[in-house]
């Protein structure tokens, strides 16, 4: 007999589990279905983000940064360390512990909020009395029925044709997070967030890393000044980054991968590596969902078609996160999940895509919100810009990390902040203040007039705002 709920959420990634919890908080009976499993077959909610994305990559980035600091930078602080060695099993094991803590935390939150969790693969059945039927396949098969269904099935790594993932030599983000040893030579195709972050992890641990990028410019979506500063820093660290390349045939042997490509100058090149990470984007997880069974509309790329409120082509069916239009970011999925749950409760929430922050967790970190300078120029919008280097920031000097700067872009007439860009230490945390200012349509003068604690890295944002009016105090 089918189990009836107000809401069934398909997927327990950031968009799905948050939507389920918020709906339960608002008094609805909620079920959440998710198929992720541990190696032992136990439930592992959290989706790509928790299991093979945001969380494990940040754990490895942190650990690898500690290793590099011990080898290269602690002596600058008068801390002499001898005989530093890498215990990769322990390093990766710590990552696994962090992942499990997040998995367990979500299961606890489900229990706390009375969300019914079902471990298995969900697919649509039919339109029935009481809403939509959802079939759960797994060790304990179930049929669920709900008036509203929220699709939050996420995305998977896109493979290169002819170079499918084997997770042994040709790796997606999944395989790249659990290499059993540090490769001597590592190739990465794609200089986006995943490519740069995972490339940085293995470079710090001793690999010789070469990154191939098809776009003619490095980080083309990032503010040009920030991208140039980042490229300079990454190159100095030892990352070999080639842009404007055309990847050709990829051959795999027992011991190496050979990537044939044409460089930006038109010359044919060959790159040989022990491992290859392919990070050329992601595709929505809609296969097996049963969209065709109920007539759910997908676009030509497989994304679920939704309107501005995340409503699909069918009444009572919603979709959020990576499986719909917009940036593939965990925090964007969370905001959409909350918004849909609140719409079901009769509220009128709003998700502002213009103030969604972006972060690349390399060193230096890169973070931004709003428009880049090149976008404003293309739009023909009059603006003023102010920037401030971390080199002139007292806290950055004390940290021993003065790479990068902060840039503030403001409307030339109204002074409304249009974009804020960071490259430097803990940019991922600093961007939050810029998001808050922009959400309230604040001005650069507002940032400039806010008292910031001294000495802090956040003072660099204040100084960049002052620089918009050409009155920076410390540079």
Mean pLDDT of 396-415: 98
Give the structural domain span for 9.
3-154+285-345
Are both 364 and 325 inside the same structural domain?
A: no
- Is 281 flagged in the annotation as binding? yes
Q: Are 456 and 395 in contact (CB under 8 A)?
A: yes
Is residue 350 included in any domain, yes or no?
A: no
Mean pLDDT of 33-53: 97
What was the pLDDT predicted at 396?
A: 98
Query: What does the alpha-carbon distance between residue 258 and residue 420 come to, in Å, rounded to a whole number?
Result: 40
Are both 303 and 242 inside the same structural domain?
A: no
Is residue 237 included in any domain, yes or no?
A: yes
Mean pLDDT of 304-321: 98
Q: Is the pLDDT of residue 139 over 90?
A: no
Is residue 322 included in any domain, yes or no?
A: yes
- Is 122 flagged in the annotation as binding? no
Mean pLDDT of 152-163: 96
Is residue 340 included in any domain, yes or no?
A: yes
> 66, 73, 77, 454: which is the annotated catalytic residue?
454
| pLDDT digit string, tens, across residues 56-90 | 999 999 999 999 999 999 999 999 999 999 999 99
Q: Can you spell out the DSSP letters for 168-208?
A: SSEE-HHHHT--SS--SEEEEE--SHHHHHHHHHHHHTT-E
Is residue 215 included in any domain, yes or no?
A: yes
- Is 248 flagged in the annotation as binding? no
| pLDDT digit string, tens, across residues 176-235 | 999 999 999 999 999 999 999 999 999 999 999 999 999 999 999 999 999 999 999 999
Residue 454 is among the residues annotated as catalytic for this protein: yes
Close Cβ partners of 354 (under 8 Å, ≥ 6 residues apart): 370, 438
- Is 154 flagged in the annotation as binding? yes
Mean pLDDT of 129-155: 96
Q: Could you say which of 251, 280, 309 is where a domain stops?
A: 280
Query: What does the alpha-carbon distance between residue 378 and residue 355 come to, in Å, rounded to a whole number?
Result: 20
Which contacts (CB < 8 Å, 24+ apart) does range 88-91 have? 88/180, 88/181, 88/182, 88/205, 91/60, 91/63, 91/64, 91/67, 91/205
Are both 169 and 271 inside the same structural domain?
A: yes
Mean pLDDT of 115-134: 97
What was the pLDDT predicted at 229?
A: 98
| pLDDT digit string, tens, across residues 335-361 | 999 999 999 999 999 999 999 999 999
The CATH number covering residue 251 comes to: 3.50.50.60
Q: If we measure between CA atoms, which residue out of 48, 58, 47, 53 comes closest to residue 94?
A: 58
Q: What are the C-alpha distances in Å from 370 to residues 92, 346, 357, 377?
A: 35, 30, 8, 14
Q: Is the pLDDT of residue 272 over 90?
A: yes
- Is 329 flagged in the annotation as binding? yes
Whether the CA torsion 97, 102, 105, 106 is positive or negative: it is negative
**Which residues of 380-431 form beta strands (DSSP E)?**
383-389, 405-411, 417-424
Are both 7 and 136 inside the same structural domain?
A: yes
What was the pLDDT predicted at 254?
A: 85
Q: Is the pLDDT of residue 132 over 90?
A: yes
Query: What does the alpha-carbon distance between residue 377 and residue 356 come to, in Å, rounded to a whole number?
Result: 21
Q: Is the pLDDT of residue 140 over 90?
A: no
Q: Assess whether the previous peptide bond of 455 is cis (omega < 30° from 0).
A: yes
Stated as kind and residue range, the H or E segment containing 331 is helix 330-344
Direct distance between the N- and C-terminal alpha carbons of the chain, in angstroms, rounded to an integer:
71
Is residue 108 included in any domain, yes or no?
A: yes
Are both 365 and 221 inside the same structural domain?
A: no
Are both 365 and 271 inside the same structural domain?
A: no
Confidence of residue 1 (pLDDT cuts 50, 70, 90): confident
Are both 226 and 164 inside the same structural domain?
A: yes
Confidence of residue 108 (pLDDT cuts 50, 70, 90): very high
Q: Is the pLDDT of residue 37 over 90?
A: yes
Q: Could you say which of 238, 259, 280 is where a domain stops?
A: 280
Q: In the chain, what is the greatest distance between 2 CA atoms, to the nearest angstrom?
A: 72
- Is 199 flagged in the annotation as binding? no
Q: Are 189 and 278 in contact (CB under 8 A)?
A: yes
Are both 135 and 167 inside the same structural domain?
A: no
| Structural domains in the chain (count) | 3
Stated as kind and residue range, the H or E segment containing 432 is helix 427-439
Name the average pLDDT for the chain: 97
What was the pLDDT predicted at 208?
A: 98
Is residue 393 included in any domain, yes or no?
A: yes
The CATH number covering residue 361 comes to: 3.30.390.30
Q: Are 1 and 144 in contact (CB under 8 A)?
A: no
Are both 454 and 404 inside the same structural domain?
A: yes
Q: Could you say which of 295, 313, 345 is where a domain stops?
A: 345
Q: What are the C-alpha distances in Å from 413 to residues 131, 164, 407?
A: 52, 52, 18
Percent of the chain with pLDDT over 70: 100
Are both 266 and 410 inside the same structural domain?
A: no
SS3 280: coil
Confidence of residue 413 (pLDDT cuts 50, 70, 90): very high
- Is 27 flagged in the annotation as binding? no
Query: What does the alpha-carbon distance between residue 184 and residue 313 come to, in Å, rounded to a whole number?
Result: 50
Are both 326 and 370 inside the same structural domain?
A: no
Percent of the chain with pLDDT over 90: 98
Are both 17 and 145 inside the same structural domain?
A: yes
Is residue 352 included in any domain, yes or no?
A: no
- Is 270 flagged in the annotation as binding? no
Which class for 164: exposed (0-12), middle (13-18), buried (19 or more C-beta within 10 A)? Answer: exposed
- Is 58 flagged in the annotation as binding? yes
What the block records as the tokens of 464 is 């960049």
Query: What does the alpha-carbon distance between residue 373 and residue 330 come to, in Å, rounded to a whole number?
Result: 25
- Is 295 flagged in the annotation as binding? no
């Amino acid at each position: 007999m089918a189990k009836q709920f107000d809401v069934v959420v398909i997927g327990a990634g950031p968009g799905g589990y948050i939507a389920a919890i918020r709906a339960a908080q608002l008094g609805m009976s909620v079920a959440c279905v998710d198929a992720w499993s541990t190696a032992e077959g136990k439930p592992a909610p959290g989706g790509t983000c928790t299991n093979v994305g945001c969380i494990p990559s940040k754990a490895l980035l942190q650990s690898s940064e500690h290793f590099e600091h011990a080898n290269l930078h602690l002596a600058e602080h008068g801390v002499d360390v001898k005989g530093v060695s890498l215990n990769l099993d322990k390093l990766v094991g710590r990552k696994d512990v962090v992942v499990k803590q997040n998995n367990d935390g979500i299961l606890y939150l489900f229990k706390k909020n009375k969300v019914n969790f079902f471990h298995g693969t969900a697919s649509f059945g039919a339109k029935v009395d009481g809403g939509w039927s959802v079939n759960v396949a797994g060790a304990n098969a179930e049929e669920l029925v709900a008036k509203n269904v929220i699709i939050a099935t996420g995305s998977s790594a896109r493979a290169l044709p002819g170079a499918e993932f084997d997770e042994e030599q040709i790796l997606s983000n999944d395989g790249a997070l659990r290499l059993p040893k540090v490769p001597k030579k590592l190739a990465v195709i794609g200089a986006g967030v995943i490519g740069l972050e995972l490339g940085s992890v293995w470079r710090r641990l001793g690999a010789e890393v070469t990154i191939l990028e098809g776009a003619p410019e490095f980080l083309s979506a990032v503010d040009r000044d920030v991208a140039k500063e980042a490229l300079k820093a990454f190159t100095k660290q030892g990352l070999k980054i080639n842009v404007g390349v055309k990847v050709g045939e990829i051959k795999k042997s027992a011991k190496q991968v050979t990537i044939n490509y044409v460089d930006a100058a038109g010359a044919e090149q060959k790159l040989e590596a022990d491992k290859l990470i392919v990070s050329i984007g992601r595709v929505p997880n809609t296969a097996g969902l049963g969209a065709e069974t109920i007539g759910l509309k997908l676009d030509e790329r497989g994304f679920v078609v939704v309107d501005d409120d995340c409503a699909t082509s069918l009444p009572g069916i919603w979709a959020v996160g990576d499986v719909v239009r917009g940036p593939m970011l965990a925090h964007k999925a969370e905001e959409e999940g909350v918004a849909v749950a609140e719409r079901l409760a009769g509220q009128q929430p709003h998700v502002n895509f213009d103030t969604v922050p972006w972060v690349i967790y390399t060193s230096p970190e890169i973070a931004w919100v709003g428009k880049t300078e090149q976008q404003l120029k293309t739009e023909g919008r009059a603006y003023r810009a102010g920037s401030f280097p971390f080199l002139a920031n007292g806290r950055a000097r004390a940290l021993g990390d003065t790479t990068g700067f902060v840039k503030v872009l403001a409307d030339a007439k109204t002074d409304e902040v249009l974009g804020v860009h960071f490259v430097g230490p803990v940019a991922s945390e600093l961007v939050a203040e810029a998001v808050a200012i922009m959400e309230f349509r604040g001005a650069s003068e507002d940032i400039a007039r806010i008292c910031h604690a001294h000495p802090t890295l956040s003072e660099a944002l204040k100084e960049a705002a002052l620089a918009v009016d050409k009155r920076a105090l410390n540079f």
